[in-house]
């Protein structure tokens, strides 16, 4: 039974997958199998994009016959002659003697090398920039030499703005029903295999990959059809950008890869002791035993991380073989551009370290850092200091997650250096953050949205724990962000910012002003220029707020109007506070205008409307004639009055936390 998949009316997937092959190229383990993609264009002419590996020949020919439905096959474009794609070429030509082979001059030569003379062979040789008219479009060919062999060409279909990319953008892994990358959890289930494929198969040819990328730079590609792995029909830019990074051998992640070769476990122990110290400093650490990890995995992980440590026993007066194999693989793939360190072990003649460093010195842009750690048989307690030092050199900035509420710095020293008003100079946007729990929709106003990475696209939002939306996100792990525009009305802020979802349904009487994204959550459709749907991938506790780290699941621009800023809100949107009645004496929230009546604002006071703290309140009504007669000291920062004849030298303003030096006597 055929397994043809219809991509477009005139474009079919006729390839298949192999889940039995143990090793690709008899070298790279295939725990998840591999696909051999082949595509059939049905224009006025019929065109096949590459054949497949012998392993799936039966299915492929059944697919092809079904796809052609009795039509002749006019062309087979041989983009790549490696047998995983071309092994079935002769059988194809036997079945379809009418077919003309379209390929590069070098591929034509290779056909002869692989198959010998083929009776009646018709070849149409194409070079960079050549086109082939197939009826309703002209296919454009481009050389992609050394991606991954020298004869490779890629093909551009202008009708679908599609690149048939040969091995480029390929990945290990069998396809099982879902053909498209956007149907899969690519980052979780495929990225590792895509990186492993890139590093091992194409990684050596970064310069040639860059040449190919420069050729497609101006094409706004809607599709990428690789010969291996899923089809890209969304977010092609993301994968192209990742390819740029891989081609430059730039690390994808800040983190430390430790590869060790250990005979009886002592070198492993040293590697683990270093890993623990790095982890304590906040580094992400990936630790591998070279003896039990395929070298292709080690190569791919090397491509991934910014720092690498090689810990190795001396063996036969040389480098432990599994580690030496890893080093040779790095060499063979022109690996470069990392910060690296070496730890060696040797019981009587430790040679491994120097030999490893010699290897590394021959690679481009390798920064070798000290101390160089020499273990004699087993790590000694007095070497802990060297391990600490190496961990610090590799990961100098200690990163911690602020979960503690303890202030270790004395307030008196800290406060004069921090003017909280400076934070108002930071430019913010304003957003409706929406969530859904069960059947309840809710939302609140936030300003702290930041994109932190783009591969993958991740952002953070900081949400006050008092907000009902906060609790809903904690429970569901999902939220949407609606980016508000300059024409947003104050009523939106009142609806989402001045009442609690615990008390009211904020979406009641709001029909026509919102819609739902694929995740079922709401987003605003008016005075909103974009919405972003997110899945939480991490949380950090910051006392009053939770910082949610999230990955994007959907994002769309829905309007061209500019985004509103925090300043716009204060200058043009938020109604100016009405002059305060002389009789009202208290503290006004600078954010929403709420007035707390009383002479003293509790330092831990939270605005019941907008949930901002005491620092965002300003005194009102203290300028009455009666007040002027008051004895005491006024805080020059926030206006708070300390009543009394003498201000204690260590006094701290209970509202803005400024010290006695910021107070002035009331005259
Ligand atoms: Fe998929 Fe280079 O062959």
Q: Are the beta carbons of 290 and 336 closer than 8 angstroms?
A: no
Residues 216-233: tens digit of each pLDDT: 987 879 999 999 999 999
Residues 136-161: tens digit of each pLDDT: 999 999 999 999 999 999 999 999 99
Average pLDDT for 651-665: 77
**How is 115-137 classified by DSSP, letter by letter?**
H---TT--EEE--TT-EEE-SS-
Mode of pairing for the β-strands spanning 285-289 and 11-13: unpaired
Please indicate whether residue 45, judged by its CB atom, sits closer than 6 Å to ligand 1: no
Average pLDDT for 642-659: 78
Q: Are the beta carbons of 377 and 398 closer than 8 angstroms?
A: no
Please tell me the predicted confidence (pLDDT) of residue 366: 96
Residues 533-564: tens digit of each pLDDT: 999 998 888 867 889 999 999 999 999 999 99
Please indicate whether residue 228, judged by its CB atom, sits closer than 6 Å to ligand 1: yes
Q: Are the beta carbons of 551 and 457 closer than 8 angstroms?
A: yes
Residues 180-212: tens digit of each pLDDT: 999 999 999 999 999 999 999 999 999 999 999
Q: Are the beta carbons of 537 and 458 closer than 8 angstroms?
A: yes
Please tell me the predicted confidence (pLDDT) of residue 412: 34
Q: Are the beta carbons of 209 and 243 closer than 8 angstroms?
A: yes
Residues 6+ apart with CB under 8 A from 476: 435, 436, 437
Please tell me the predicted confidence (pLDDT) of residue 594: 80
Q: List helix spans (H) across 254-294.
A: 266-280
Please tell me the distance between residue 85's alpha carbon and the centre of ligand 1 in angstroms.
7
Please report, rounded to a whole number, the percentage of residues in the chain having pLDDT higher than 70.
Answer: 93
Please indicate whether residue 324, judged by its CB atom, sits closer than 6 Å to ligand 1: no
Average pLDDT for 259-281: 97
Mode of pairing for the β-strands spanning 34-36 and 16-18: antiparallel
Please tell me the predicted confidence (pLDDT) of residue 420: 56
Residue 638 scores a pLDDT above 60: yes
Average pLDDT for 565-585: 71
H or E element at residue 113:
helix 105-115
As a dihedral over the C-alpha atoms of residue 67, residue 69, residue 75, residue 78, rounded to 10 degrees, the angle is: 30
| Assessment of whether the complete model's pTM goes beyond 0.75 | no
Please indicate whether residue 52, judged by its CB atom, sits closer than 6 Å to ligand 1: no
Q: Which range has the worst mean pLDDT, 109-113, 377-381, 415-419, 609-613?
A: 415-419
Please tell me the predicted confidence (pLDDT) of residue 401: 38
Tell me what the pLDDT averaged over the chain comes to.
Answer: 90
Output the six-digit token pair for 375: 């273990």
Residue nearest to atom 1 of ligand 1 (CA): 167
User: At 446, is the secondary structure helix, strand, or coil?
Assistant: strand
H or E element at residue 478:
strand 478-484
Please indicate whether residue 84, judged by its CB atom, sits closer than 6 Å to ligand 1: yes
Of the pLDDT bands very low, low, confident and very high (cuts 50, 70, 90), residue 626 is very low
Q: How far is CA 128 from the centre of its chain?
A: 34
| Ligand 1 atom showing the smallest separation from residue 227 Cα | 1
Of the pLDDT bands very low, low, confident and very high (cuts 50, 70, 90), residue 602 is confident
> From CA 608, how far away is CA 602, in angstroms rounded?
13
Please indicate whether residue 338, judged by its CB atom, sits closer than 6 Å to ligand 1: no
Cis upstream peptide for 371 (omega within 30°): yes
Please indicate whether residue 227, judged by its CB atom, sits closer than 6 Å to ligand 1: yes
Please tell me the predicted confidence (pLDDT) of residue 583: 63
Mode of pairing for the β-strands spanning 123-125 and 100-103: parallel
Degrees (nearest 5) of the Cα angle 569, 572, 574? 55
Of the pLDDT bands very low, low, confident and very high (cuts 50, 70, 90), residue 656 is low
Q: Which range has the worst mean pLDDT, 142-156, 304-318, 487-501?
A: 487-501
Q: Are the beta carbons of 266 and 260 closer than 8 angstroms?
A: no
Of the pLDDT bands very low, low, confident and very high (cuts 50, 70, 90), residue 59 is very high
Q: Are the beta carbons of 534 and 481 closer than 8 angstroms?
A: yes
Residue 344 scores a pLDDT above 80: yes
Degrees (nearest 5) of the Cα angle 245, 250, 255? 120
Residue nearest to atom 3 of ligand 1 (CA): 82
Please report, rounded to a whole number, the percentage of residues in the chain having pLDDT higher than 90.
Answer: 72
Count of Cβ atoms closer than 10 Å to residue 491 Cβ: 10
Q: Are the beta carbons of 120 and 94 closer than 8 angstroms?
A: no
Please tell me the distance between residue 25's alpha carbon and the centre of ligand 1 in angstroms.
9
Please indicate whether residue 144, judged by its CB atom, sits closer than 6 Å to ligand 1: no
Of the pLDDT bands very low, low, confident and very high (cuts 50, 70, 90), residue 609 is confident
Output the six-digit token pair for 197: 């494929």
Average pLDDT for 485-498: 90
More confident residue, 234 or 592: 234
């Amino acid at each position: 039974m055929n397994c043809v998949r219809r991509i477009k009316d005139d474009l079919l997937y006729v390839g298949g997958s192999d889940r039995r092959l143990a090793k690709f190229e008899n070298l790279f383990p295939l725990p998840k199998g591999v696909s051999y993609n082949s595509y059939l264009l049905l224009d006025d002419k019929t065109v096949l994009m590459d054949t497949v590996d012998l392993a799936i020949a039966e299915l492929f020919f059944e697919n092809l016959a079904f796809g052609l439905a009795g039509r002749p096959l006019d062309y087979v474009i041989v983009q790549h002659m490696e047998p995983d794609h071309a092994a079935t070429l002769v059988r194809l030509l036997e079945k379809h003697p009418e077919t003309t082979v379209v390929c590069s001059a070098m591929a034509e030569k290779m056909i002869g090398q692989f198959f010998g003379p083929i009776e009646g062979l018709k070849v149409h040789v194409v070079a960079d920039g050549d086109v082939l008219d197939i009826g309703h479009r002209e296919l454009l060919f481009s050389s992609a030499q050394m991606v991954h062999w020298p004869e490779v060409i890629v093909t551009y279909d202008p009708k679908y703005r599609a690149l048939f990319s040969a091995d480029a953008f390929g990945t290990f892994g069998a396809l099982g029903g879902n053909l498209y990358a956007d149907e899969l959890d690519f980052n979780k289930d495929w990225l590792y295999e895509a990186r492993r494929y890139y590093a091992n198969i194409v990684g050596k040819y970064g310069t040639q990959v860059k040449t190919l990328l420069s050729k497609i730079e101006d094409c706004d590609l809607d599709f990428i059809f690789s010969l291996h792995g899923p089809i890209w029909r969304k977010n092609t830019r993301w994968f192209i950008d990742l390819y740029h990074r891989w081609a430059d051998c730039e690390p994808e992640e800040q983190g430390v890869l430790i590869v060790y070769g250990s005979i009886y476990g002592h070198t492993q122990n040293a590697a683990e002791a270093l890993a623990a110290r790095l982890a304590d400093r906040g580094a992400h650490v990936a630790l591998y035993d070279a003896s039990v990890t395929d070298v292709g995995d080690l190569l791919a992980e090397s491509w991934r991380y910014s720092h690498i440590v090689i810990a190795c026993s001396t063996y036969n007066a040389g480098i432990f073989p599994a580690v030496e194999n890893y080093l040779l693989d790095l060499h063979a793939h022109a690996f470069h551009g990392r910060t690296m360190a070496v730890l060696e072990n040797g019981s009587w003649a430790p040679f491994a370290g120097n030999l490893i460093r010699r290897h590394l010195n021959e690679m481009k842009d390798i920064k070798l850092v000290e101390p160089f750690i020499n273990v004699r048989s087993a790590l000694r307690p007095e070497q802990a200091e060297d391990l600490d030092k190496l961990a610090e050199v590799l990961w100098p900035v200690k990163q911690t997650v602020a979960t503690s509420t303890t202030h270790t710095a004395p307030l008196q020293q800290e406060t004069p250096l921090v003017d909280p008003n400076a934070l108002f100079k930071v430019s913010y946007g304003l957003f409706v953050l929406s969530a859904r729990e069960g059947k309840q929709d809710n939302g609140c106003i936030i300003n702290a949205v930041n994109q932190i990475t783009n591969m993958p696209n991740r952002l953070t939002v900081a949400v006050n724990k008092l907000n009902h939306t906060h609790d809903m996100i904690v429970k569901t792990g999902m939220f949407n962000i609606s980016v508000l525009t300059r024409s947003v009305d104050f009523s939106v802020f009142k609806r989402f910012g001045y009442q609690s979802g615990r008390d009211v349904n904020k979406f009641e009487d709001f029909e026509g002003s919102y819609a739902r994204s694929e995740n079922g959550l709401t987003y605003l459709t008016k005075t909103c220029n974009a919405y972003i749907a997110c899945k939480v991938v991490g949380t950090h506790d910051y006392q009053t707020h939770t910082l949610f780290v999230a990955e994007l699941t959907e994002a769309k621009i829905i309007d061209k109007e500019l985004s509103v800023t925090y300043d716009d809100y204060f200058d043009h949107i938020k109604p100016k506070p009405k002059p305060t009645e002389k009789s009202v004496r208290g503290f006004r929230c600078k954010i929403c205008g709420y007035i707390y009546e009383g002479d003293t604002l509790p330092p831990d006071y939270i605005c019941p409307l907008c949930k901002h703290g005491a620092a965002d309140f300003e005194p009102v009504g203290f300028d009455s004639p009666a007040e002027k007669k008051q004895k005491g000291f006024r805080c020059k920062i926030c206006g708070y009055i300390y009543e009394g004849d003498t201000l204690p030298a260590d006094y701290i303003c209970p509202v803005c936390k400024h010290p006695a030096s910021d107070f002035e006597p009331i005259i």
